[in-house]
């Protein structure tokens, strides 16, 4: 009897333990699934696109860098898949992404440019010549210059027929027009740094911009080599390499020549009667030296910068350039001259100059500064007037000789 009671009590205790155990397990709403189960659930609820790793810039495979012989203000690195990484002095960084290719994640200061770039707002007028040589004028739809300010015929005609529209000058762009035209790149010149509010507004509107720095190149050929940068933007890299090689080949004869020793001055006279000249480190001064001339310099510092000109009094110019063999008048600022008489109207002191007396005064034409790639022709022109006293004007691209005064025996 006693044994039966013990058995009954034991069975009751076991039942209570089992019920208590089941109840406690069901009462745990915070039960944590094993890690492997959690991962399986995540994979089942994540889309294939989310599972794929986001492309990083470091994932791109480097191929090669652009060959540059003279330019040092920009660089272009090529990556597999058609990606191009561009840097421009002044901390400008760009990643060109091929059409329909994935955009890799980059540092915040890298500007993404999606190709093709075919709705460009061109403010840096000196860059137009590069696009013309690359047969890529159709990539530019907006201009900071009005029709009558273009000396390049193709650009002027594009404005005439409405294919290229005026979108305001650098300091007062027409933001509404720029946005409505779907601008994919604004190419500015360094003047834009004087109006930082414009850059800020472009950034707010999501319009990428590139500041053209070719004026900071210390070598004349370095400026011309910027053709390769614009070629990278419009996917004509090989054409640019070949064009530049041919250009240098044309100049090889001049480069191989010995200096002529002829003193050459390059100047213009402003409305106050002072004389503006180029510093010795300026690209025009260096171009004269390449052409074989002995540039008449009025500075001793050799300072190299984008604004490498200086203004001096006529008395100082008289002392330094009176015996110059050749005078070249820069007409791009104060207008073209045709005769020596017009030159003397600016200053009668010039009548004492050797070059004036010998009829060796030349004038550079106004379109020169819009034809950036024609610096090579300018060097050839200067070389011809230095080496051939009987050179005919039809042989020259940018220079014409000032006609002698009436009654003069020049």
pLDDT at 239 over 50: yes
pLDDT at 40 over 90: no
* Whole-number Å distance between alpha carbons of 237 and 250: 20
What's the pLDDT band for 371 if we cut at 50, 70, 90? confident
Q: What confidence tens digit (pLDDT) does each residue in 375-389 have? A: 999 999 999 999 999
Over residues 339-355, mean pLDDT: 97
Better pLDDT: 208 or 23: 208
Q: What is the pLDDT of residue 335?
A: 72
Q: What confidence tens digit (pLDDT) does each residue in 199-225 have? A: 999 999 999 999 999 989 989 999 999
Residue % of the chain over a pLDDT of 90: 76
* Whole-number Å distance between alpha carbons of 241 and 244: 5
pLDDT at 32 over 50: no
Q: How many beta carbons lie within 10 A of that of residue 99, not counting itself?
A: 9
End-to-end distance of the chain based on CA atoms, in angstroms? 153
pLDDT at 26 over 70: no
Q: What is the pLDDT of residue 373?
A: 87
Instruction: Indicate the class that CATH gives domain 117-247.
Output: alpha beta
* Whole-number Å distance between alpha carbons of 292 and 282: 16
* Whole-number Å distance between alpha carbons of 265 and 39: 79
Dihedral angle sign, alpha carbons of residues 119, 124, 125, 130: negative
Whether 258-401 and 117-247 are alike in CATH topology: the answer is yes
pLDDT at 47 over 80: no
In whole angstroms, what separates CA 381 from the centre of its chain? 26
Which of 86-90, 183-187, 406-410 has maximum average pLDDT? 183-187
| Residue-by-residue DSSP string for 113-151 | EESP---EEE--GGGHHHHHHTT-GGGEEEESS-GGG--
- pTM over 0.85, yes/no: no
Over residues 26-45, mean pLDDT: 34
Q: What is the pLDDT of residue 248?
A: 95
Say if CB 91 and CB 211 are below 8 A apart: no
CATH number of 258-401: 3.40.50.1980
What's the pLDDT band for 4 if we cut at 50, 70, 90? very low
pLDDT at 48 over 70: no
Which of 25-29, 103-107, 296-300, 305-309 has maximum average pLDDT? 103-107
What's the pLDDT band for 242 if we cut at 50, 70, 90? very high
Q: Which parts of 188-263 fold into alpha helices (H)?
A: 196-204, 220-224, 227-233, 237-255
Map out the domains of the chain as residue ranges. 117-247, 258-401
Which token pair is 72? 């040092």
pLDDT at 45 over 80: no
Residue % of the chain over a pLDDT of 70: 83
Q: What confidence tens digit (pLDDT) does each residue in 147-168 have? A: 999 989 999 999 999 999 999 9
Q: How many beta carbons lie within 10 A of that of residue 298, not counting itself?
A: 19
Q: What is the pLDDT of residue 120?
A: 98
What's the pLDDT band for 372 if we cut at 50, 70, 90? confident
């Amino acid at each position: 009897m006693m044994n039966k009671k013990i058995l009954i009590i034991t069975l009751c205790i076991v039942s209570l333990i089992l019920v208590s155990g089941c109840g406690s397990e069901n009462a745990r709403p915070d039960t944590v699934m094993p890690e492997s189960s959690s991962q399986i659930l995540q994979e089942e609820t994540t889309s294939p696109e989310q599972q794929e790793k986001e492309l990083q810039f470091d994932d791109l495979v480097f191929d090669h860098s652009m060959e540059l012989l003279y330019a040092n203000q920009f660089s272009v690195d090529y990556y597999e898949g058609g990606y191009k990484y561009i840097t421009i002095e002044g901390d400008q960084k760009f990643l060109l992404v091929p059409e329909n290719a994935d955009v890799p994640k980059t540092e915040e200061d890298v500007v993404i440019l999606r190709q093709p770039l075919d709705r460009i707002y061109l403010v840096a007028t000196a860059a137009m010549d590069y696009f013309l040589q690359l047969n890529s004028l159709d990539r530019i739809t907006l201009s900071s210059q009005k029709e009558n300010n273009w000396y390049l015929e193709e650009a002027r005609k594009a404005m005439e027929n409405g294919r290229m529209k005026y979108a305001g000058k650098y300091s007062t762009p027409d933001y509404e027009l720029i946005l409505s035209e779907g601008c994919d790149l604004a190419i500015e010149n360094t003047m834009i740094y004087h109006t930082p509010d414009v850059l800020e507004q472009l950034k707010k509107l999501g319009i990428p911009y590139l500041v053209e720095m070719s004026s900071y190149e210390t070598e004349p050929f370095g400026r011309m080599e910027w053709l390769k940068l614009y070629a990278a933007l419009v996917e004509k890299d090989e054409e640019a390499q070949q064009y530049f090689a041919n250009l240098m080949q044309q100049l090889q004869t001049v480069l191989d020549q010995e200096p002529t020793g002829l003193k050459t001055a390059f100047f213009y006279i402003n409305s106050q009667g002072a004389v503006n000249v180029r510093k010795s480190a300026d690209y025009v001064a260096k171009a004269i030296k390449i052409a074989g001339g002995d540039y008449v310099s009025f500075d001793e510092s050799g300072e190299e910068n984008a604004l490498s000109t200086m203004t001096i009094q006529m008395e100082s110019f008289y002392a330094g350039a009176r015996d110059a063999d050749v005078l070249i008048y820069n007409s791009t600022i104060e207008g073209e001259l045709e005769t020596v008489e017009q030159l003397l109207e600016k200053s009668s002191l010039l009548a004492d100059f050797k070059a004036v007396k010998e009829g060796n005064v030349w004038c550079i034409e106004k379109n020169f500064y819009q034809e950036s790639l024609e610096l090579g022709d300018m060097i050839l022109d200067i070389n011809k007037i230095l080496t051939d006293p009987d050179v005919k004007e039809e042989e020259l691209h940018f220079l014409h000789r000032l006609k002698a005064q009436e009654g003069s025996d020049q």
